[in-house]
Amino acid sequence: MEQTFIMIKPDGVQRGLVGEIIGRFEKKGFTLKGLKLITVDRHFAEQHYADLSAKPFFNGLVEYIISGPVAAMVWEGKNVVTTGRKIIGATNPAESAPGTIRGDYAIDIGRNVIHGSDSVESGKKEIALWFPEGIAEWRSSLHSWIYE
Ligand code: GDP
Ligand code: MG
């Protein structure tokens, strides 16, 4: 089953949005397979955002991500990468639709509350980076009420 890496950024943790965000993924029907509150260092944040290292906002982005604890998660389900990105909304909250997490809870692109993997491939890389210890092995007893 497909998996994605979802991270509630330091602003989302500080603003008390962890429960709300987890609730949205849970109520959709996705399965929580990994969860931890962790403060990462500069080197780790630079690894996570390595693809963006040439961008002018890279240093500010790294400062933002290391500014406090983040809630790192693995969510599992059919099409969870693409659907997870839809639940999150567009990168710039000014363009995120109401009803999405960024559309409902963010204003500035540099404080957009949440990260979600952009492909199955980057999801695998990010899960390996953030959860080297591995993730939980379990199957929800609701499975047959969510999948036909
Ligand atoms: P995402 O996949 O939707 O998170 O977007 P990207 O992978 O393109 O960028 C990663 C993160 O960098 C975004 O979530 C923003 O927090 C930040 N970011 C992206 N573009 C900009 C920008 O133009 N300015 C600033 N300040 N931050 C940006
Ligand atoms: Mg991205």
85 lines ligand 1 (CB under 6 A): no
50, 51, 54, 59 alpha-carbon torsion, rounded to 10°: -40
Rounded distance from Cα 123 to ligand 2 centre (Å): 10
Q: Is 48 among the residues known to form the active site? A: no
Rounded distance from Cα 26 to ligand 2 centre (Å): 22
Rounded distance from Cα 124 to ligand 2 centre (Å): 14
60 lines ligand 1 (CB under 6 A): yes
Q: List binding-site positions for ATP.
A: 9, 57, 85, 91, 102, 112
Full-model pTM: 0.98
Kindly indicate whether the ipTM for this predicted assembly is greater than 0.95, answering yes or no.
yes
Distance between the two ends of the chain, CA-based, in angstroms? 15
- Provide the strand spans (E) within the chain: 3-8, 31-38, 70-76, 114-116
Per-residue pLDDT of the chain (148 residues; tens, 9 = 90+): 999 999 999 999 999 999 999 999 999 999 999 999 999 999 999 999 999 999 999 999 999 999 999 999 999 999 999 999 999 999 999 999 999 999 999 999 999 999 999 999 999 999 999 999 999 999 999 999 999 9
**C-alpha span between 115 and 12 (Å, rounded):** 10
68 lines ligand 1 (CB under 6 A): no
**C-alpha span between 81 and 69 (Å, rounded):** 23
Q: In Å, what is the CA distance from 65 to each residue of 17, 56, 95?
A: 16, 16, 22
99 lines ligand 1 (CB under 6 A): no
